[in-house]
Amino acid sequence: MDHAPATDRSPGPVAAFIGSFPGLLVCLAAAALGLYLLITHTGHMIGALPYLLLLACPLMHLFMHRGHRHDARQDG
């Protein structure tokens, strides 16, 4: 089965928000908070790294396989 190409190229609501001025402020605040946590709580963050790596595996499979079609295909 072929998929019809998307004709609507407008950004989604999240992309539109991040591209706006308030979205830029939120991203800068999140980056500043992340840097603060990295500097002041380095020991805690290093202790959490193995758990974050283990959590990243199922999250990557969940989100990165979204576009794949895993149905039975007939070759002919």
In-domain check, residue 10 = no
pTM recorded for the entire structure: 0.50
In-domain check, residue 28 = yes
In-domain check, residue 30 = yes
The two structure tokens encoding residue 50? 């193995």
Domain that holds residue 39: 17-64
Q: Tally the domains of the chain.
A: 1
pLDDT at 27 over 60: yes
In-domain check, residue 31 = yes
Torsion (CA) 24, 58, 46, 30 in degrees, nearest 10: 10
pLDDT digits (tens, 9 = 90+) for 28-56: 999 999 899 889 999 988 898 899 899 98
